[in-house]
Structure 1
Amino acid sequence: MNLKRLLSMAVLAALSSAAWSAPDAAALGQSLSLKMAVDTNKGAAAGAPCADLGADWASCLKGRLILENRGGEVVPAGSGWSLYLHSIRRILKLDSPDFAIRHITGDLYQLTPTAGFQGLAAGQKLELPLIDEYWLLQESDVLPRPYVVVDGQPPALLQHDSSDDASYLLPLTGDNWKNPAGEQRPLATPEQRYHTFTPRGLPLSAAQVAKRTIPAVMRQQAGSGQVQVSGLSLNLSGLDPAQRQALAERAAQLGLRANGAPVAGGVAGTKLPADIAVSGGYRLSIGQQGVRVEGYDAAGVFYGVQTLLGLVPQGGGAIPAMTVEDAPRYAYRGMMVDLARNFKQPATVRRLIEQMAAYKLNKLHLHLSDDEGWRVQIPGLPELTDVGARRCHDLSETRCLLPQLGSGPDNQSGGGYLTRADYIDLVRYAQAHFIEVIPEFDMPAHARAAVVSMEARYRKLMAAGQPQAASEYRLLDPQDQSNTLSVQFYDRHTYLNPCVPGSQRFVSKLVSEVAAMHHEAGQPLQTWHFGGDEAKNILLGGGFQDVSGSDPGKGKVTMAQQDKPWGRSPACQALVSSGQIKSVDDLPLRFARQASGIVASQGIAAMGAWQDGVHGAAGASDFATAHTLVTEWDTLYWGAAQSSSDLANKGFKTVLAMPDYLYFDFPYELNPREHGYYWASRDTDSYKVFSFAPDNLAQNAEVMPDRQGKPFAVTSSAAPARFAGMQGQAWSEIVRTDAEFEQRVYPRMLALAERAWHKAAWERPYQAGETYQLGVTHLVDKAALNADWQQFAAVLGWREAPKLEKAGVRYRLPMPAVQPGSGPYAVTTEWPGARLQYSTDGRSWQTYQPGRQVQANYWRGVSQDGSRVGRAETLSGQ
């Protein structure tokens, strides 16, 4: 026994009279804290048995859980309590005589003291070596809210680890910030940003972009002079009262009076030029005689006014006289919002609807169910929200789902749902803003919230003596003993069983009730999104081998113990035996077809799915609905150009959702202090989204590298395809608060709107057989791209960022870009008009005025109104 342990035991003995007589959960919660340290993200190279422990592709890290007693009392030796913690990485091994670890489900683990645990004196730390799968590269990889459980006492949150703003990952040392698979990008620092931003060109003044809007218009012709706009008087035909009210509210939000410059016009239809005579097309005329809007349809009238509002500075002012003729690039211009993993309040969604409309986005895809939550009240199935919308420490999951994603034991984050009235109000509000709401209830995988909720319903009704009602919507085969592990580390309860009759009854009930809500809201349900993604056992993937294998680059798993989803379900095996399916591999597509039949029978024109939800289908004609929409989420460096074209050419209405460009839960830049998942990209800033060329996907390989910063080549080998559109994705696994949601979405959503509405001149036409690769080919006019970006950035900085603030949107503040020198430092930002602050000591801050001679080590961004500040940074080597 070493001297340190002997001293600790002596201290514990001396303080034994002050120790708790029995484990006290509340006291433990006040005293304990838990942090994570990474020793190396290259575990295998450091001798960790990554392959033997079953790590995917034998990738693992070596680190330490650091348990500290920050209270004034002794944490006594012995057991009687457990610590539950969240980990988005599989914990493969805990190497400590003091604690044992057990995986519960998903990201939830139980850490229990062993007989060897000698207690913790006040101020003492205990380090628990462990091995995790993959790596930890961002602060947000370590989730908050571990909690203590003692039998017979309420669970107690560790108060020192309960904030969403703090970091529970100790600073990464050496090159641990680099992806061990190979990292070629530099770390984002103020100096590095300066070298990134300046090649994009010189920033423009507000006057230089007075005629530019976001999104850019198809064409405009300059008029004579300027028009002063301090208020608007809307006199438009073709809009209903709610749509007129939406425009009036937007104008008021921007500080414009309700009376002022007259805006006349209405629906003109085919009187417009042929190329703008499409839904959403319009002509906007601004002159000394007033303003006139002529829309192809009501949507066109609405968008014409939005363009006018986009030209007006915050609070009103002069705008150039002009005539604009404009129409959308895509009919589908969307945002997907994940309400399932971590719920977002209706007010935040309403604010999103307002901003989507302002920038001419028209599809709101709501991800309303997943493993971690069910988010809409369904009449007749109260358990879906009574159980499935809450997280608490109930190991039986009768009252709630178990805690996940840093929620802690009492729904401090993650919980909540839309009442039926809430949902109807949101659909109605979206309708007034020309936005279609597309509900998604993910199945057959990612369905754990529904499965667990219906099991709670089953138990309740069985106890009440109602076996028929209990089984009506049961989603499991009770005899299924399949051993599986899902993408988010759940067992077979993550999969709705497509072979039991309750599943189809459940889908029919769900579609019927949601369609009724849409009907009541005045927006008949047009598209039902089925989800359909990731119905698989990850341990049967390419990164694993049997325990008898000898490949040092793959994790070892006892393959004989692993099953495909529903592999040992008697109900599904009966379908195989009867010849209705060849194997359980056929079940996801079979269920998708059955769901499309249910959707079509209720008069809904389209069913949507993520692309793996239609895997194996010959084409859109395989499904019963008139249209089948596919949300394509392959990365470009993993073949999205080919797969997207294939889907479109099979008749699917293909919506581009590439993670490397369009996942807004990913970090803006490569820095461990940035938050976000990063499996497809570690740096997706607004410029990257802006640079996306959706009609010629291969072109993007010449502009941006892959996720490690490595160039890759793409050849346009598929037949030309016409895509339905594109959408941004705001997944919420580690986006726990509404404020963080808005930081992730804005301002990237404006760049998304630019590309979804407007095709830029620097986008090359698609040509089969053309190859693109960064640093090798030189086909893309990057000077034109950067010039276009500078216009976009100037409009964002001078006009749109202040408008976002006025609307209460908590967008991500721009980061400082600073080049030190012997004289005054050179300073810039991602967009002009952004505000920065500097400090010489990190405590007293001053606002930076462009052109001022400044030498300071500390920098941060600040909002226009000064109410919010960004992450403070120091210059390298200072």
Structure 2
Amino acid sequence: MLVTALLMASTAPAGSALERLAAGLGYRVTVIDNRPADCPPLPLDPAVAPPVPLPPRRCMVLDIDLDMPANVAAPAGLELRTSLIGSVLRLDSPDFTSRVENGDVTIFALKPGRTLVPGRHYRIRMTASVPFFSRAFVLPNAVLAAPGVAPAVIAATRPGTDPDTGLETLPFVAPMTDEPRLATAAAVDRNVWLTPERAFARYAARGTAAAPDIVILPKPVQATRPDGATLDLSRGVRLALRGGSRTALIPALAGLARVGVGSGAVPLSIAIGDPSIAPEGYRLDVAATGIRIASHDVAGASYALRSLAQQAAHERLRMKPLTVVDAPRYGYRGLHVDLARNFHGRDEILRIVEQMAALKLNTLHLHLGDDEGWRMEIPALPELTQVGAYRCLDLSDATCLQPQLGADPARDAPTNGYLTTGDYLAILAAAKARQITVVPSFDMPGHSRAAIKSMEARYRRLAAAGRLAEAERFRLVEPGDTTRYASIQNYDDNTLNVCIQQTYRFVDTIVSAMARLHQQAGVPLRLYHIGADETAGAWRNSPACRAEAARTGTPVANLGARFVERVATMLAARGIHAGAWSDGLTHADPSALPAQTHSYIWGGLFDRGVAEAHAQVNRGWPVILSIPDVTYLDMPQAVSPDEPGATWATREIDLFRLYAFMPGNLPANAATITNILNQPGVIDDRTPLTPGHQVAGIQGQLWSEMVRRDSQMDYMLFPRLFALAERGWSRAAWEPAYVPGAAYSYGDERVDHSAMLAGWRDFAARVAERLPALDRDGITYRLTPPGARIVDGRLEANSETPGQRIDYRADGAAWARYAAPVAVTGAVDLRTVTADGKRASHTVTVLPERAAWQ
């Protein structure tokens, strides 16, 4: 049924007619077709230069159904404002027109002379440029606006909460059930929905491992079991430390205490400073007489204690003898968390920092500034957070930013806010205690709308007070610049002018503020990420840039590269390395960049990523693999209409896909990974690595465009972060050695698929052992729904990782625990449940009649 709230006169709330309409309007969104026969061309503004690249001709059809309350009329000049991923190509409505405000804000305005009659039903049918493969693409918190009254959020568009999963729901979005019309956007696309039957076949093909003996995650380089008696750790440990301070090990010792190993009698000796052990490496010996740890540094000792805690919990504190010799494959093992698009606060970051430490990840990349929000307090520039940290319904962007991405405009909404300097210091302290480096990032010169709008508010404040010179100091807009452009996210006002001194004064002020905080925390700022990606075709008509181009002989189009070079040099003068997304470095002059410029590769495996990574490694730069079709954790975890996530890079990154990633031999990934259309492909090594060169590390990225709650952040990160940690720490035995120039195609026998599946089964079993610890820590990780099929009237079910509890119900009965194949009739619902029974996965349904064709 249509989500409808009818206002009765006797219970109508106080407020304007617009508020009453927003409270009572029925609102329903239905994705009709992702493969319509007729896709209109994308409308382009001929004044935008350089021209926006034309996307492939694909589109989707979507309906917005509106039910008017019985006794509330629409005010004159009514507009419906909603966030829309993509652009409207065609609108079929006798009542509304559409236009783009900025970014993803699309406005449906009543046509002149039209009105909405109380009690009537209206439909807006649109054809839009981006297929919606998931219900999560429909963004919540649509707004009604009209002249002279305050805008109001349509109550029916507010998200809800699933009582079983604890995750956000979108009750106003119709179920997506028509797979032939909705699962793909083109006939060549081989993606199919991961139905329970298909999941059953997938999990069965991968196999299930027996309970593992050694559960340490990420997998150690070497772990053996010497002979000897067990050690009872329930008696606690007595620490003897040489070469370091106990304070530096407090979090790791606390992790040991959480599994039941407190202070006591068992000797635990730790020797830090062994030069024969690699940085961050360790040796752990458990014997009946006690425990000995040797490490190169404090990080290695901490990691040894984390491994000990995992194994001790598995063995219920009665440990058999164990020897582990371990060190990381890569020195950079990172996680990028986007706080800018939708805010996530200090407490969530601190929880993630602790989980990173347990997984031996050592770099936290915090994305703090973008178009949709500025999330870091800079005391010298208070407007950055006073204006840039909040979305509200001031449609002028004067006191806050317009809501984008379906954000709740309430000032106290969780998606609003920023890190205070105290919050950031707390994060730095927690990270330092866990040997994690924090890398701050404010994307520039593109993706800077929040900064630009905030500094315009500062300009207006000071100019109104007659302090014009001071107002101009940080104004990021050049009044004479008439350039019209559109960013890839459809902003026309999000790019810093790289030719005015105010821009560099602003950058220097931000860097200075962050450097002071790092110094105060006792962790000098050594790496700062400047972004530099997706810069729109700005500056063409900037007087300052035309003058700069004439003075230097640099074409206006190349001035973005000059910005990267100049800022990286500014940072180097402070002893800070610059990091940037790889596309921002592609056109820069390597000779004009510092030698230790960090490049974060985000080209796709089947696109430019491999060549770009190899070319930039060959320059001698530290290169971090941030490959979107493998490490972008905002991508869906399954091809499913009920699975959240962006789909521009891939339709699915499940636990197996990330586990199977081969970072040391990028072309070899074609042997196991399909492209975005789920087609086998070939990866050629057209730009071979120079002998002796390799990437510096790997990083997972969680962008937050569609991540509005902390629970959703947990869901997207875990347990996939386990696979990222495994690949950053351990070289898989089945990864073939890199051979310059070698090309790979799907199924290539140089990748030992049998060995890969054996490794997967061991990994999946170790993941299963870790999940109860996440429950204990309050992490709302993804519970993968079970696979299931009905054959000859009997239900069979399995799970992605071994030992997961599966519940089922048939014919409307109560939930029962699945233990073995069972006779059923009709449709059967299934879900995966946590070991403590407190949380469940999404419910899936298996139908007997589907068994024949799956």
Q: Do they superpose with TM above 0.5?
A: yes
2:223 maps to 1:220: yes
2:776 maps to 1:785: no
2:622·2:695 contact (CA, 8 Å) conserved in 1?
A: yes
1:23·1:81 contact (CA, 8 Å) conserved in 2?
A: no
What is the rounded CA distance, in whole Å, between the counterparts of 1:192 and 1:427 in structure 2? 45
Q: Could you list the per-position Cα deviations for residues 158-182 of structure 1 after superposition, in whole angstroms to 9, with x for gaps in the alignment?
A: 1111014125443333523222143
Q: Could you list the per-position Cα deviations for residues 447-503 of structure 1 after superposition, in whole angstroms to 9, with x for gaps in the alignment?
A: 111111011101110001111110111111111121111111110x20011111111
Aligned counterpart, 2:491: 490
- Within a 5 Å distance, the mapping from 1:72-111 to structure 2 comes to 73-76=70-73, 79-111=76-108
| CA gap 1:151/1:433 in 2 versus in 1, 3 angstroms | same
What is the rounded CA distance, in whole Å, between the counterparts of 1:459 and 1:534 in structure 2? 29
Deviation at 1:260, TM superposition (A): 5.3
Amino acid at match of 1:751: A
Amino acid at match of 2:141: R
What is the rounded CA distance, in whole Å, between the counterparts of 1:317 and 1:142 in structure 2? 49
Deviation at 1:292, TM superposition (A): 0.7
2:667 maps to 1:661: no
Aligned counterpart, 1:193: 199
Aligned counterpart, 1:684: 653
2:239·2:270 contact (CA, 8 Å) conserved in 1?
A: no
2:267 maps to 1:262: yes
1:266·1:298 contact (CA, 8 Å) conserved in 2?
A: no
What is the rounded CA distance, in whole Å, between the counterparts of 2:704 and 2:597 in structure 1? 26
Question: 1:865 pairs with 828, 833, 836, which one?
Answer: 836
| CA gap 1:157/1:324 in 2 versus in 1, 3 angstroms | same
Deviation at 1:228, TM superposition (A): 2.9
Deviation at 1:662, TM superposition (A): 0.3
2:20 maps to 1:27: yes
1:660·1:681 contact (CA, 8 Å) conserved in 2?
A: yes
Deviation at 1:627, TM superposition (A): 1.1
Amino acid at match of 1:593: E
What is the rounded CA distance, in whole Å, between the counterparts of 1:218 and 1:854 in structure 2? 47
Aligned counterpart, 2:125: 129
Amino acid at match of 1:284: L
2:790·2:848 contact (CA, 8 Å) conserved in 1?
A: no
1:744·1:811 contact (CA, 8 Å) conserved in 2?
A: yes
Deviation at 1:80, TM superposition (A): 3.9
Deviation at 1:852, TM superposition (A): 6.7
| CA gap 1:388/1:321 in 2 versus in 1, 3 angstroms | same
Q: Could you list the per-position Cα deviations for residues 767-803 of structure 1 after superposition, in whole angstroms to 9, with x for gaps in the alignment?
A: 123221114x322111111111111111111x20011
1:841·1:858 contact (CA, 8 Å) conserved in 2?
A: no
SS at structure 2 position matched to 1:494 = coil
Deviation at 1:18, TM superposition (A): 12
Aligned counterpart, 2:162: none
What is the rounded CA distance, in whole Å, between the counterparts of 2:414 and 2:807 in structure 1? 32
Deviates more, 1:250-259 or 1:395-404: 250-259
Question: 1:50 pairs with 41, 45, 50, which one?
Answer: 41
| CA gap 1:21/1:674 in 2 versus in 1, 3 angstroms | closer
Amino acid at match of 1:160: A
Aligned counterpart, 1:139: 135
- Within a 5 Å distance, the mapping from 1:110-121 to structure 2 comes to 110-121=107-118
Deviation at 1:664, TM superposition (A): 0.5
| CA gap 1:511/1:240 in 2 versus in 1, 3 angstroms | farther
- Within a 5 Å distance, the mapping from 1:538-687 to structure 2 comes to 564-578=537-551, 580-604=552-576, 606-619=577-590, 621-624=591-594, 626-687=595-656
Deviation at 1:226, TM superposition (A): 3.0
Deviation at 1:842, TM superposition (A): 5.0
Percent identity, aligned pairs only, is 35
Number of aligned residue pairs: give it. Answer: 818
What is the rounded CA distance, in whole Å, between the counterparts of 2:108 and 2:329 in structure 1? 54
1:78·1:114 contact (CA, 8 Å) conserved in 2?
A: no
What is the rounded CA distance, in whole Å, between the counterparts of 2:579 and 2:557 in structure 1? 21
2:98·2:108 contact (CA, 8 Å) conserved in 1?
A: yes
Q: Could you list the per-position Cα deviations for residues 804-829 of structure 1 after superposition, in whole angstroms to 9, with x for gaps in the alignment?
A: 11111111012111122125422210
SS at structure 2 position matched to 1:381 = coil
Question: 2:210 pairs with 201, 204, 229, which one?
Answer: 204
| CA gap 1:484/1:322 in 2 versus in 1, 3 angstroms | same
Aligned counterpart, 2:771: 801
1:51·1:57 contact (CA, 8 Å) conserved in 2?
A: no
RMSD: 2.3
What is the rounded CA distance, in whole Å, between the counterparts of 1:413 and 1:643 in structure 2? 38
Deviates more, 1:646-655 or 1:853-862: 853-862
Q: Could you list the per-position Cα deviations for residues 402-450 of structure 1 after superposition, in whole angstroms to 9, with x for gaps in the alignment?
A: 1111114325352110000100110111000010000011100001111
Aligned counterpart, 1:358: 358
Aligned counterpart, 2:673: 704
| CA gap 1:51/1:149 in 2 versus in 1, 3 angstroms | closer
What is the rounded CA distance, in whole Å, between the counterparts of 1:864 and 1:464 in structure 2? 62
What is the rounded CA distance, in whole Å, between the counterparts of 1:341 and 1:234 in structure 2? 45
Amino acid at match of 2:175: P
2:39·2:57 contact (CA, 8 Å) conserved in 1?
A: no
Deviation at 1:309, TM superposition (A): 1.2
| CA gap 1:453/1:795 in 2 versus in 1, 3 angstroms | same
Deviation at 1:651, TM superposition (A): 1.3
2:370·2:442 contact (CA, 8 Å) conserved in 1?
A: yes
Amino acid at match of 2:262: R
What is the rounded CA distance, in whole Å, between the counterparts of 2:221 and 2:341 in structure 1? 38
What is the rounded CA distance, in whole Å, between the counterparts of 1:742 and 1:197 in structure 2? 23
Q: Could you list the per-position Cα deviations for residues 741-786 of structure 1 after superposition, in whole angstroms to 9, with x for gaps in the alignment?
A: 00000000000000100001101000123221114x3221111111
2:699 maps to 1:724: no
What is the rounded CA distance, in whole Å, between the counterparts of 1:877 and 1:89 in structure 2? 38
- Within a 5 Å distance, the mapping from 1:246-645 to structure 2 comes to 246-259=251-264, 261-270=266-275, 272=276, 277-313=277-313, 316-411=316-411, 412-491=413-492, 493-536=493-536, 564-578=537-551, 580-604=552-576, 606-619=577-590, 621-624=591-594, 626-645=595-614
Amino acid at match of 1:601: A
What is the rounded CA distance, in whole Å, between the counterparts of 2:785 and 2:324 in structure 1? 34
What is the rounded CA distance, in whole Å, between the counterparts of 1:107 and 1:242 in structure 2? 48
2:65 maps to 1:66: yes
| CA gap 1:387/1:839 in 2 versus in 1, 3 angstroms | same
Deviation at 1:843, TM superposition (A): 6.3
Aligned counterpart, 2:711: 739
SS at structure 2 position matched to 1:636 = coil
2:745 maps to 1:767: no
Unmatched 5+ stretches in structure 2: 1-5, 46-53, 160-167, 850-854
| CA gap 1:587/1:455 in 2 versus in 1, 3 angstroms | same
1:565·1:584 contact (CA, 8 Å) conserved in 2?
A: no
Deviation at 1:833, TM superposition (A): 2.1
What is the rounded CA distance, in whole Å, between the counterparts of 1:852 and 1:18 in structure 2? 51
What is the rounded CA distance, in whole Å, between the counterparts of 2:813 and 2:317 in structure 1? 38
SS at structure 2 position matched to 1:170 = coil
| CA gap 1:290/1:241 in 2 versus in 1, 3 angstroms | closer
2:636·2:643 contact (CA, 8 Å) conserved in 1?
A: yes
What is the rounded CA distance, in whole Å, between the counterparts of 2:9 and 2:705 in structure 1? 43
Deviation at 1:133, TM superposition (A): 0.8
Deviation at 1:853, TM superposition (A): 6.7
Deviates more, 1:319-328 or 1:438-447: 319-328
Q: Could you list the per-position Cα deviations for residues 326-371 of structure 1 after superposition, in whole angstroms to 9, with x for gaps in the alignment?
A: 1100000000000000111211111111111111000000111000
Q: Could you list the per-position Cα deviations for residues 141-170 of structure 1 after superposition, in whole angstroms to 9, with x for gaps in the alignment?
A: 110000222444433211111014125443
Q: Could you list the per-position Cα deviations for residues 251-291 of structure 1 after superposition, in whole angstroms to 9, with x for gaps in the alignment?
A: 23334334354321121422x3xxxx221011100100111
Amino acid at match of 2:32: D
Unmatched 5+ stretches in structure 1: 1-11, 537-563
Deviation at 1:739, TM superposition (A): 0.2
Deviation at 1:64, TM superposition (A): 2.0
Deviation at 1:91, TM superposition (A): 1.8
Deviates more, 1:809-818 or 1:836-845: 836-845
1:94·1:131 contact (CA, 8 Å) conserved in 2?
A: yes
TM-score when scaled to structure 2? 0.92
